[in-house]
Structure 1
Amino acid sequence: MKVLVLGAGVIGTTSAYFLAKQGHDVTVIDRQESVAMEASHANAGCLSYGFTSPLASPGLPFNILKWALSGRSPLVVNPNMSIETIKFMYRLYKNCNSKSYEVNKSRMLRIANYSQKALLQIEADFDINYVQRKQGSLQLFWDSKEIDKAKKDISILEKFNIKSELLDPEGCLKIEPGLRYVKNQIAGGIQFTDDFTGNCYLFSNEIYKKCLEMGVNFEFKTEINAIETHNNAVSAVLTSKGEFKADCYSVSLGSHSNNILSQIGIQTPIYPVKGYSITLPVLADKDAPQSTIMDERNKIAITRLGDTIRVAGIAHLTDFNKELRAKSLESLKQGIDRLFPNSYEQTNDLNFWTGFRPSTPDSTPIIGPTPYSNLYLNTGHGTLGWTMSAGSGKLLANLISGSEPEISLEGIDMSRYSFANRTPQNYG
């Protein structure tokens, strides 16, 4: 079967790998010059199979107020809010309750758990190096209230056999010796022992090379202009390089998915939540992080990637504004200095980066069929595209191949949104 994948981020590239592995003739289209050039390019680097949580939580509205009063907020909203920003915030607020939080977290963990197995399958398939480490991750707490709140999540984790261990400050230092400078300030942490770390950009490029060996065709520097439909099916995709036809189509365009899908009436509630990162050279291994540390209070992730340290965070609601915000850079620098003050070489080249996380209000991606018989979605992964990429790609390939999904699609495909009940004839 000929399959056309729209988007060459980590989601689209991994989808192409599993589709090709199942025998399909695959073409991938992307407007960039190579794979993983947008949200996948310089993300936090953590494969958070255990530390997987929705942005919308029961305490988020109060935290937003608290952060605003403190003048140091990990969630930033552009005061000139667009209609799309307002809609996303309202939908996010509707998910800020205990019931929705548990449902959404369970769905996310289902995908994450499956994705870990799929990634290990890729590693068994061929020799792949993406400076991976498999030393777990540490969610760090500054007071007992944060620990008590985190304990409520453990029962959900246990349902999915996610291994976690509550640690006191001494226990945190055993796995992350570089935290000794803040030993007397932290209250403890939770270690997610099965979490990994790795460079998403390197991974995507390794998958890309393997895809080429398997016969996958990549069309870069190709603008996607429109999707044409006929008789309740997609008939072609119109691009700057002409018309592309296939038997089946998949959309993995991240935050840009709405731009193309809205033309055929599919209004996915995906919003571009802007994130930032800096990447620093390691100065001394004994002072540097060994894996991923999530600073729970300040919502900043610090990850060891080979001989560099990636510091990532901030949720900036500002539509597609690409400006590199000075205050965000300051927050990230404060984040690394707070925990690992002597870990990196002082340099003016911080590799300051920003990207748009394709976020749904329930933080669960949209994977599966659409009302069009040959069109599938694999998008909306938010901050967890790297974590969920392998499982999402394999799930999509199984669906397109007509194989029985290895996990339930309940709450994962677009049917959880009311617009999914329409037929293509109703779409404008």
Structure 2
Amino acid sequence: MRVLVLGSGVIGVTSAYYLALKGFEVTVIDRQPAVGMETSFANAGQVSPGYSAPWAGPDVPLKAMKWLFQCHAPLSIRPDFSLWQLQWMARFLRNCSAQRYALNKSRMVRLAEYSRDCLRELRANTGIHYEERNRGTLQVFRTQKQLAAEAKDIAVLRQMEVPFEHLDPAGCTRIEPALAHVKDQLLGGLYLPGDETGDCQLFTTQLAAKAQALGVQFRQSATIQRLVTQQNQLLGVEVHTGHGIETLEADHYVVALGSYSRQLTHALGLDLPVYPVKGYSLTVPIINSDAAPVSTVMDETYKVAITRFDQRIRVGGMAELAGFDLSLNPHRRATLEMVLNGLFPHAGHVSQALFWTGLRPMTPDGTPIIGQSGARFPNVWLNTGHGTLGWTMACGSAQVLADLIAHDKPAIETQELNNKRYSA
């Protein structure tokens, strides 16, 4: 049975790999010349099930108002002059209650924990390497208010049996010795030992090679022109390649186009609640290994993650609601540099850093959309809307999707993951 996967980012490639393991004949198409060239290219480098949480929380509306007037605010809202932006923000605000936050976080952590286990199994089975580290995530707090807010996250972690350790400043430097010089600026930290790190784009490239060995075909530089439908079936996808226009046909179609999933599926009568949330990163060459982090440090004040690769540091964060704008804002670079230099001065060659931006496909409740698109087009499947946790949730999402398409029972509950929750 043939499956056509639309998108060759980390979600599309993992979907193809797990579908191939199930025995499907899989083809992947993407407009880019190689895999992992958009949102997967330079993300924060985290596989962080313990840090999985929705952006929509009880304190976010007030914080957002304050951030509008701050120079280094983690959130920025710029009108894109679309009704959709306003509708998405309204849905987002409806998820900012304590009850919704707890529900959304619990299902996100459940999927992320499962996904981390799937990644470990994949790594053991394939021998894949991507500058991975298994040293956890350290979330550092600078204010009493941040420490107090930590309690609600710890309650969910306990409920989901996720290991964690609450740390004082001395404990933070035990986990990350290079923080010793800023110990007096920290009030504490939350250490999540089960989290991992690595280069997502390298992982995607390596996994694509493993998928090809299983028979998966990759059609890069193939731009989708339109969907060919008849009654309640998607019959094919018309694409433009270097050889002209052709129509690719399959039995099942998987939409894994990240922020662009909503635009494509409008032709199918779907209204996916996925908005492009713009993020930034710096990739900094290391000049002093002892002054660099050993894993990931999340600065709670600025919502910026600093992640160690072999010879590089990835600094990622920020969130802009500005439509599909991909321009590089120098003020965001200044914030990333400030956080890196504040916590790990002299660790890297900041002047030689690669400055990058990408669009995270975000749902209002933070949970991705995985499963059948609906009754109207039963051969169309969705794997999108992972927000800032695309790589964290990639393997688990792909395994769930492959199980559903193969009519196998997934290892975790999937009812809350499909698009029906937005039509209830």
How high is the TM-score relative to the length of structure 2? Answer: 0.97
**C-alpha offsets along residues 114-146 of structure 1, whole Å, 9 cap, x if unaligned?**
101110111121111100000110010002221
The one-letter code of the counterpart of 2:329 is R
C-alpha distance in 2 between matches for 1:198 and 1:108: 20
The one-letter code of the counterpart of 2:274 is I
C-alpha distance in 1 between matches for 2:158 and 2:227: 43
Asked if the contact 1:58–1:97 (Cα under 8 Å) also holds between the matched residues in 2, the reply is yes
Structure 1 counterpart of 2:167: 167
SS at match of 2:112: helix
- Moved segments of 4+, more than 4 Å: none
SS at match of 1:361: coil
Query: Do structure 1's residue 311 and structure 2's residue 323 form an aligned pair?
Result: no
Query: Do structure 1's residue 356 and structure 2's residue 359 form an aligned pair?
Result: yes
Asked if the contact 1:81–1:318 (Cα under 8 Å) also holds between the matched residues in 2, the reply is no
Q: How far off is 1:248 after superposition?
A: 0.8
* Percent of matched pairs sharing the same residue: 44
Deviates more, 1:146-155 or 1:307-316: 146-155
**C-alpha offsets along residues 23-73 of structure 1, whole Å, 9 cap, x if unaligned?**
110000100001111000000001111011101000001111222233331
Matches within 5 A, 1:130-145: 130-145=130-145
Matches within 5 A, 1:198-217: 198-217=198-217
Unaligned runs of 5+ in 2: none
Structure 2 counterpart of 1:112: 112
C-alpha distance in 2 between matches for 1:317 and 1:152: 26
C-alpha distance in 2 between matches for 1:67 and 1:338: 20
Query: Do structure 1's residue 366 and structure 2's residue 365 form an aligned pair?
Result: no
CA pair 80-147 structure 1, distance change in 2 beyond 3 A: same
Q: How far off is 1:307 after superposition?
A: 0.7
SS at match of 2:354: coil
Q: How far off is 1:346 after superposition?
A: 4.5
Structure 2 counterpart of 1:425: none
Q: How far off is 1:81 after superposition?
A: 4.2
Matches within 5 A, 1:315-394: 315-347=319-351, 349-371=352-374, 372-394=377-399
C-alpha distance in 2 between matches for 1:262 and 1:380: 15
SS at match of 1:132: coil
Aligned length: 418
C-alpha distance in 2 between matches for 1:248 and 1:352: 38
Asked if the contact 2:95–2:364 (Cα under 8 Å) also holds between the matched residues in 1, the reply is yes
C-alpha distance in 2 between matches for 1:71 and 1:177: 29
Structure 1 counterpart of 2:413: 408
Matches within 5 A, 1:256-271: 256-271=260-275
Structure 2 counterpart of 1:227: 227
C-alpha distance in 2 between matches for 1:226 and 1:2: 19
Q: How far off is 1:82 after superposition?
A: 2.8
Unaligned runs of 5+ in 1: 422-428
**C-alpha offsets along residues 264-310 of structure 1, whole Å, 9 cap, x if unaligned?**
11110100000000000111121101111110011111000111000
C-alpha distance in 1 between matches for 2:219 and 2:410: 29
Root-mean-square deviation (Å):
1.1
**C-alpha offsets along residues 156-213 of structure 1, whole Å, 9 cap, x if unaligned?**
1122211110000000001101111211110010000100001000000010111111
Asked if the contact 1:289–1:340 (Cα under 8 Å) also holds between the matched residues in 2, the reply is yes
Query: Do structure 1's residue 246 and structure 2's residue 282 form an aligned pair?
Result: no
SS at match of 2:39: coil
Asked if the contact 1:113–1:160 (Cα under 8 Å) also holds between the matched residues in 2, the reply is no
Asked if the contact 2:67–2:76 (Cα under 8 Å) also holds between the matched residues in 1, the reply is no
C-alpha distance in 2 between matches for 1:70 and 1:120: 40
Query: Do structure 1's residue 29 and structure 2's residue 29 form an aligned pair?
Result: yes
Q: How far off is 1:80 after superposition?
A: 5.4
The one-letter code of the counterpart of 2:253 is Y
C-alpha distance in 2 between matches for 1:368 and 1:29: 19
SS at match of 2:69: helix
C-alpha distance in 2 between matches for 1:233 and 1:48: 37
SS at match of 1:70: coil
Structure 1 counterpart of 2:288: 284
How high is the TM-score relative to the length of structure 1? Answer: 0.96
CA pair 63-20 structure 1, distance change in 2 beyond 3 A: same
SS at match of 1:225: strand
Structure 2 counterpart of 1:395: 400
C-alpha distance in 2 between matches for 1:110 and 1:128: 24
C-alpha distance in 1 between matches for 2:172 and 2:62: 28
C-alpha distance in 2 between matches for 1:42 and 1:81: 28
The one-letter code of the counterpart of 2:108 is M
**C-alpha offsets along residues 383-427 of structure 1, whole Å, 9 cap, x if unaligned?**
000100000111111111110111111221001011xx7xxxxxx
C-alpha distance in 2 between matches for 1:85 and 1:310: 29
SS at match of 2:4: strand
SS at match of 1:147: helix
C-alpha distance in 1 between matches for 2:159 and 2:113: 11
Structure 2 counterpart of 1:83: 83
